[in-house]
């Protein structure tokens, strides 16, 4: 993992944690703007990390639901803001 990716992932984790803790839904976007003002490379990596982490969360929730309810009774509910 490159230094840029390491920094982006840490920022994304911290921003998503802050968003979850405070309910402040704009923090992820605002950090993206701040980072982008200085480094479009870091901004791209950060936004990608945010999307990847959110996608992982959705996939893991789906897997847990499969384990609990059984695969035959599941529907996929996508809410990227969780």
Average pLDDT, the chain: 90
CA angle 24, 26, 31 (to 5 degrees): 115
Residue 73, pLDDT above cutoff 90: no
31-56, pLDDT tens digit by residue?
A: 999 999 999 999 999 999 999 999 99
8 A C-beta contact, residue 15 and residue 50: yes
Rounded to an integer, the average pLDDT of 12-22 is 97
């Amino acid at each position: 993992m490159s230094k840029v990716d390491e920094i982006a992932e840490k920022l994304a984790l911290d921003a998503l944690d802050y968003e979850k803790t405070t309910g402040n839904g704009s923090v992820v976007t605002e950090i993206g703007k701040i980072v982008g003002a200085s480094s479009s490379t870091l901004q791209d990596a950060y936004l990608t990390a945010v999307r990847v982490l959110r996608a992982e969360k959705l996939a893991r929730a789906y897997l847990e639901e499969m384990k609990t309810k059984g695969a035959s009774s599941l529907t996929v509910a996508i809410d990227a803001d969780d």
